[in-house]
Chains A and B, each alone.
Chain A
């Protein structure tokens, strides 16, 4: 009986963990991210329309659905291609935008790059609690919470590495991250980096940055920031 209770307890625990798209323990152990679940994503890099938010739903059977912003009802979901994983990289296609989305599942959260004919960009997602989203009341609350925008409270500029100045090296770094309700940056990851010399100052700068605190019970919200390192010739 006790053994059965322990088994049930373990199964329940596993189910709770599986319902969340983000498992800190898994990430800490270096295990691959489970992409199945609901995600609230920032998609950036579109030259014409800028950046926008989408919801993604990745089903265990391989189906992928997307919806603009915070999907509040079933009618808002649009089917994309099925997702597949090859050597730790998940990919799926959006035939309407002709984009191919890819993400490295060794990252701490779901996010990566998208490519279209002559364009490319990035995407970064925060997990949405599957249990909350299933209940309509919870969904409204979650949606409202998710709608709280990220407002930068302090933006820390990175220090230009002295070695890079001496070698006249310029470059670009894009870092994506999640922000908790206290405005702290969590789990920053470099998603684009033109030169390794800019990695440490970029991470240091984003970790020192702060966003506005919110009273809303928001889960983590995705954000990305790019840093362009330039050298102006002065004489």
Chain B
């Protein structure tokens, strides 16, 4: 269930395809979405593949694109965030965390990278770190569906319900 949920989450966290909207995503964050456009065809193809669930292909194309298609800091940050999402979807949290961290070093306002890294920490069972990263994502994009979903996953893992019953008679 958790993995299935993250596949959906990861898809939403993949930044940019040629056909995606170029303006800010009103559902998500005020920082907007970085579109990897036609000037970076390999990176765009990598993003498409990851979004479609073809993680191996997506990872390969994105790595190729990062080497062969120099782009702005934001474009490179988006590509690294996509790699993070792909590795997290493959339940490879260590690699995912590595790429998300690199992405955040280039663009510290990427709520998607924080969100993806939060999920990777959740996979490892490091709920405190997951919560910390998710708080950062929530500061930028509090209503992003992924943020709400991952928060729910963290709460389920870290809270034990208890019911106290009292009779009045």
Contacts and interface: CB of A to CB of B under 8 A. Distances in A.
A160 interface: yes
A226 B163 contact: no
A167 B153 CA distance: 9
Contact of B163 (A45, A51, A157, A166): A157
Contacts of A229: 161, 163
Interface residues of B, number: 19
Interface of A: 42, 44-45, 51, 122, 149-150, 152, 155, 157-158, 160, 162, 165-168, 174, 222-235
Contact of A231 (B151, B153, B160, B169): B160
Interface of B: 127, 151-153, 155-169
A230 B161 contact: yes
B168 A224 contact: yes
Contacts of A160: 161, 163
B155 A165 contact: yes
Given A166-B152, A167-B152, A234 B166 contact: no
Contact of A227 (B158, B160, B163): B163
Given A162-B156, A166-B155, 17 more contacts: A150-B169, A157-B163, A165-B155, A165-B156, A165-B161, A166-B156, A167-B155, A174-B168, A222-B169, A224-B167, A224-B168, A224-B169, A227-B163, A229-B161, A231-B159, A232-B161, A235-B158
Contacts of B157: 235
Contacts of B159: 165, 168, 231-234
A191 to B, nearest CB: 10
A234 B128 CA distance: 11
21 contacts: A42-B168, A44-B168, A45-B168, A51-B169, A152-B167, A165-B156, A165-B159, A167-B152, A168-B155, A223-B168, A225-B167, A226-B168, A227-B164, A228-B164, A230-B162, A231-B161, A231-B162, A232-B159, A232-B160, A233-B159, A233-B160
B126 to A, nearest CB: 10
Nearest to A43: B168
